[in-house]
């Protein structure tokens, strides 16, 4: 029973982590509080749905289109929408406010487009819904894929950020953009790339969770909210923080559902969130000084 | 400066008043009526949009098209007037639906208002419908209190029954199957912690107890739960042959998928809203066979079959197997009542309450402002979700139990 709960919890946590990692990059490095993040996920989910239902293309192949597509979209959005805001922001706080307002508008633009094209109905398809036995527990293959992707991309990006020169430049921008500029880092390009990578992660997340999650054109805000909780709990800008926070939330939810009551999962999730913030206000791995 | 502005304001106010007066005056002079104005507030966006977009809105659009294609709404004197639609998006907000309904009644002064989607919204607008004298054909509302509502709001019509009806029908199916030795009398029951789930589980509890059915596992889960593996694992361990879930569409789909993954094969599988969606049958294919839920249709009803084809052809999506056809039938009743009694809302309401109508459901008649000839339980058989209860109704299909095991895709 315990093993089942642990594994199911990790798998559920994989979903949460996958949808949150892109946001932590965008918020941490590019300093953009992207409220339209969930909409990117949903747009990618619709893409996978269309590819699967209309053209019979597997969503795994859809990843090959979604990831570059998400990157490209993030690149364009930052260049057109965010760069002017960054240029005129006097300090971090005003940039956050400006980016919240701008991305809030972007949220409605994307949501409106999706509503016009796809309508507001429940969209659902089933792919890779086959049982896979892992360590004595049966889990769905598509959910396991989400966990695997979350771990792989999380570790991969962590290694890039810490082991490569370019990754270190990104981290420098996250710590202090003004100082980074002084040492010759192109802050604008770094932020733009980080934002685009965040978009690519969002798109990948959208494609994978569309395999098992029912969604509508208006589900974006739900995902943004969930991602935000994971990001803040894990520490803004910290990719391993987002990964571990997501996994912890998944574990907590499954444990409470299995051993206490499924009705208390929401309460337990927010209780943990509250607890972590009281213990470490900047998040689990967040920096205390900004 | 101030006096100059004041004169300007007074001038423009007078102009506005004059324009308004002519507008009102025009109507008051009884100018030739060019159309019948029908208005509705529907959830086109927001959390209710999924349900409204399958059960209610396509039927409103289809009906208006059908009527206008035939030349318009026929009045008692034989004249046909086209329908002019005034549509508002209530954005799944109860304040918005009340405001929009008020606007339809007072500002737009439509001839008839069609009901919104959802039990809560229908209850929210019922006082308004009553105050302004509009008949309310509340289709997408499941409530046991309909008899009381009819006493309070004399022009309200409740067309989808109440939680007790569905729970009692399910209980009797389980009792029958238990008597035949197909299943044991144990049930595992879960429900979503929201209106629909709460309503049905509070009706099912007493209904099961009365029928001698033992509920060995009972849980509620919050809205937007996506992982049901703990629930399914515990239901599997409970030893119950029947699994009942009063769930919303996302939960229904998730439960189905995770039951397949866990190889959870209860002999009776009853799920909530969403089971009767055509996309459910499409996604699950053969695996949907045997799964039961609320609603259903009579597969032999030719009028229904033709309606389903027209619905899909015009709106692009297939109707659901529960409330869609009831919605269309309610509009047909309204159309026929207008044909018999004209546009006087009192007369139309009286005709709806007392008259007999021929609709896609067959012969349809209200019993004390409620539609009681409904399919309470349906089951997926041969690619269609057919009505299996009440078992003594004409057109019923026989329940097939136990459900076959999940087939590998």
Least confident residue range of A258-262, A273-277, B13-17:
B13-17
What is the distance in angstroms between the Cα of A238 and the nearest Cα belonging to chain B? 26
Is residue B285 less than 8 Å (CB to CB) from chain A?
no
Decide if the complex's ipTM is over 0.90: no
Is residue A5 less than 8 Å (CB to CB) from chain B?
yes
Size of interface A-B (CB pairs under 8 A): 109
Whether B163-299+376-389 and B36-161+300-365 are alike in CATH topology: the answer is yes
Best to test chain B binding among A41, A108, A119, A134 (most B CBs inside 10 Å): A119
Mean pLDDT, range A253-267, rounded to an integer: 89
CATH domain B163-299+376-389 topology = Rossmann fold (3.40.50)
pLDDT at residue B25, as a whole number: 43
Q: What pLDDT band is residue A1 in, cutting at 50, 70 and 90?
A: confident
Q: What is the 3-state secondary structure (H, E, C) of chain B?
A: CHHHHHHHHHHHHHHHHHHHHHHHHHHHCCCCCCCEEEEEEECCCCCCHHHHHHHCHHHHHHHHHHHHHCCCEECCCCCEECEEEEEEECCCCHHHHHHHHHHHHHCCCCCEEECCCCHHHHHHHHHHHHHHCCCEEECCCCCCCHHHHHHHCCCEEECCCCHHHHHHHHHHHHHHHHHCCCCCCEEEEEEECCHHHHHHHHHHHHHHHHCCCEEEEEEEECCCCCCCHHHHHHHHHCCCCEEEEECCHHHHHHHHHHHHHCCCCCCEEECCCCCCCHHHHHHHHHHHCCCEEECCECCCCHHHHHHHHHHHHHHCCCCCCCHHHHHHHHHHHHHHHHHHHCCCHHHHHHHHHHCEEEECCEEEECECCECCCCCCEEEEECCEEEEEECCCCCCCCCCCCCCCCCCCC
What is the distance in angstroms between the Cα of A38 and the nearest Cα belonging to chain B? 15
**Nearest CB to A129: which of B193, B227, B260?**
B260
Best to test chain B binding among A122, A126, A259, A261 (most B CBs inside 10 Å): A122
Is residue A4 less than 8 Å (CB to CB) from chain B?
yes
Is residue A131 less than 8 Å (CB to CB) from chain B?
yes
What is the distance in angstroms between the Cα of A253 and the nearest Cα belonging to chain B? 9
- The single-letter DSSP state of residue A262 is G
The predicted-structure confidence for A73-105, as pLDDT tens digits, reads as follows: 999 999 999 889 988 888 888 888 999 999 999
pLDDT at residue B2, as a whole number: 57
Is residue B271 less than 8 Å (CB to CB) from chain A?
no
Mean pLDDT, range A32-51, rounded to an integer: 93
- The set of long-range contacts for B94-98, using a CB threshold of 8 Å and a minimum separation of 24, is B94/B120, B94/B121, B94/B124, B96/B41, B97/B41, B97/B43, B97/B121, B97/B124, B97/B125, B98/B124, B98/B125, B98/B128
Tell me whether residues A254 and B230 touch, CB distance under 8 A. Answer: yes
The predicted-structure confidence for A160-210, as pLDDT tens digits, reads as follows: 999 999 899 998 988 888 888 899 899 999 999 999 999 999 999 999 989
Is residue A53 less than 8 Å (CB to CB) from chain B?
no
Q: Which helix (H) or strand (E) holds A134?
A: strand A131-134
Is residue B114 less than 8 Å (CB to CB) from chain A?
no
Is residue B229 less than 8 Å (CB to CB) from chain A?
yes
Tell me whether residues B257 and A126 touch, CB distance under 8 A. Answer: yes
Which chain B residue's Cα is nearest to A8? Answer: B229
What is the distance in angstroms between the Cα of A22 and the nearest Cα belonging to chain B? 21
Is residue B80 less than 8 Å (CB to CB) from chain A?
no
Tell me whether residues B233 and A258 touch, CB distance under 8 A. Answer: yes
Tell me whether residues B261 and A213 touch, CB distance under 8 A. Answer: no
Cβ atoms of A31 and A78 within 8 Å: the answer is no
Is residue B230 less than 8 Å (CB to CB) from chain A?
yes
What kind of architecture, by CATH, is found in domain B36-161+300-365? 3-Layer(aba) Sandwich (3.40)
Tell me whether residues A218 and B226 touch, CB distance under 8 A. Answer: no
What is the distance in angstroms between the Cα of B258 and the nearest Cα belonging to chain A? 7
The predicted-structure confidence for A106-143, as pLDDT tens digits, reads as follows: 999 999 999 889 887 888 888 888 888 888 888 888 88
Distances, alpha carbon A40 to alpha carbons A19, A61, B74, in Å: 10, 18, 49
Query: What are the boundaries of each domain within chain B?
Result: 36-161+300-365, 163-299+376-389
Looking at beta carbons, which residues of chain B come within 8 Å of A216? 49-50
Tell me whether residues B229 and A130 touch, CB distance under 8 A. Answer: no
Tell me whether residues B231 and A257 touch, CB distance under 8 A. Answer: yes
Interface of B with A in 344-403 (CB under 8 A): none
Best to test chain B binding among A3, A120, A142 (most B CBs inside 10 Å): A120
Looking at beta carbons, which residues of chain B come within 8 Å of A39? none
pLDDT per residue, tens digit, chain B (409 aa), is: 555 567 776 676 666 665 555 544 444 445 578 899 999 999 988 888 888 989 999 999 999 999 999 999 999 999 999 999 999 999 899 999 999 999 999 999 999 999 999 998 999 999 999 999 999 999 999 999 999 999 999 999 999 999 999 999 999 999 999 999 999 989 999 999 988 899 899 999 999 999 999 999 999 999 888 889 889 999 999 999 999 999 999 999 999 999 998 899 999 999 999 999 998 998 888 999 999 999 999 999 999 999 999 999 998 889 999 999 999 999 999 999 999 999 999 999 999 999 999 999 989 999 999 999 999 999 999 999 999 999 888 889 999 988 889 887 5
**Nearest CB to B226: which of A126, A131, A213?**
A213
Mean pLDDT, range A20-34, rounded to an integer: 91
Cα Rg of chain A, angstroms: 19
């Amino acid at each position: 029973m315990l093993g089942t709960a642990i594994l199911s919890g990790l798998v559920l946590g994989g979903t949460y982590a996958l949808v949150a990692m892109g946001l932590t990059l965008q918020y941490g490095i590019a300093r953009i509080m992207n409220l339209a993040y969930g909409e990117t996920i949903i747009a990618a989910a619709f893409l996978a749905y269309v590819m699967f239902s209309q053209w019979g293309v597997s969503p795994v192949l859809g990843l090959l289109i979604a990831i570059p597509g998400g990157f490209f979209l993030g690149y364009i959005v930052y260049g057109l929408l965010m760069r002017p805001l960054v240029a005129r922001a006097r300090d971090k706080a005003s940039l956050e406010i400006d980016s919240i307002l701008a991305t809030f508008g972007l949220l409605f633009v994307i949501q409106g487009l999706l509503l016009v094209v796809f309508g507001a109905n429940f969209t659902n398809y089933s792919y890779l819904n086959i049982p896979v036995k892992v360590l004595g527990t049966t889990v769905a293959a598509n959910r396991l894929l989400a966990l695997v992707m979350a771990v792989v991309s999380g570790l991969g990006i962590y290694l890039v950020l810490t082991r490569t020169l370019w990754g270190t430049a990104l981290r420098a921008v996250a710590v202090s953009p003004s100082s980074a500029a002084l040492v010759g880092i192109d802050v604008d390009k770094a932020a733009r790339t980080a934002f685009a990578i965040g978009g690519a992660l969002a798109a990948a997340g959208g494609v994978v969770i569309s395999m098992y999650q029912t969604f509508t054109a208006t589900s974006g805000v739900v995902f943004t909210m969930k991602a935000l909780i994971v990001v803040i709990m894990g520490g803004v800008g910290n990719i391993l923080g987002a990964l571990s926070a997501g996994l912890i939330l998944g574990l907590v939810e499954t444990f409470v559902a299995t051993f206490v009551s499924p009705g208390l999962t929401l309460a337990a999730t927010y209780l943990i969130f509250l607890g972590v913030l009281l213990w470490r206000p900047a998040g689990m791995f967040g920096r205390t000084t900004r | 400066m101030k006096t100059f502005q004041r004169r300007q304001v007074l001038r423009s106010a007078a102009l506005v008043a004059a324009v308004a007066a002519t507008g009102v005056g025009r109507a008051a002079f009884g100018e030739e009526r060019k159309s019948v104005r029908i208005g509705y507030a529907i959830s086109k966006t927001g959390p209710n949009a999924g349900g409204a977009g399958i059960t209610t809105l396509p039927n409103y659009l289809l009906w208006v098209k059908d009527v206008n294609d035939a030349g318009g709404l026929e009045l008692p004197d034989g004249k046909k007037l086209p329908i002019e639609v005034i549509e508002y998006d209530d954005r799944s907000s109860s304040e918005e639906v009340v405001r929009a309904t008020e606007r339809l009644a007072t500002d737009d002064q439509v001839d008839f208002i069609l009901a919104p989607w959802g039990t809560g919204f229908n209850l929210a607008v019922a006082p308004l419908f009553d105050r302004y004298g509009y008949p309310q054909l509340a289709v997408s509302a499941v409530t046991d209190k309909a008899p009381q509502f009819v006493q309070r709001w004399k022009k309200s019509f409740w067309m989808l029954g109440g939680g007790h009806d569905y729970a009692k029908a399910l209980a009797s199916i389980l009792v029958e199957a238990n008597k035949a030795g197909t299943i044991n009398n144990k049930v595992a029951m879960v429900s979503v912690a929201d209106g629909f789930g709460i309503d049905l589980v509070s009706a099912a509890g007493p209904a099961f107890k009365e029928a001698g059915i033992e509920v060995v596992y009972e849980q509620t889960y919050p809205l937007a739960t996506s992982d049901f593996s703990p629930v399914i694992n515990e239901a599997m361990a409970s030893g119950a042959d029947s699994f009942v879930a009063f769930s919303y569409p996302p939960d229904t789909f998730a439960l189905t998928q995770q039951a397949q993954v866990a190889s959870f094969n209860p002999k009776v599988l009853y799920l909530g809203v969403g089971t009767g969606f055509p996309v459910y049958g499409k996604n699950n294919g053969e695996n949907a066979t045997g799964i039961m839920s609320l609603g259903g249709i009579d597969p032999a009803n030719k009028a229904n079959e033709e309606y389903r084809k027209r619905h899909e052809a015009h709106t692009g999506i297939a109707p659901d197997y529960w409330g869609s056809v009831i919605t269309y039938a309610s509009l047909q009743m309204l159309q026929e009542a207008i044909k018999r009694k004209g546009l006087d809302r009192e007369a139309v309401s009286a005709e709806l309450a007392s008259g007999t109508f021929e609709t896609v459901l067959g012969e349809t008649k209200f019993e004390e402002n409620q539609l009681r000839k409904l399919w309470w339980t349906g089951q997926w058989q041969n690619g269609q979700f057919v009505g299996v209860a009440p078992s003594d109704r004409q057109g019923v299909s026989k329940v097939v139990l136990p459900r076959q095991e999940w087939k590998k895709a």
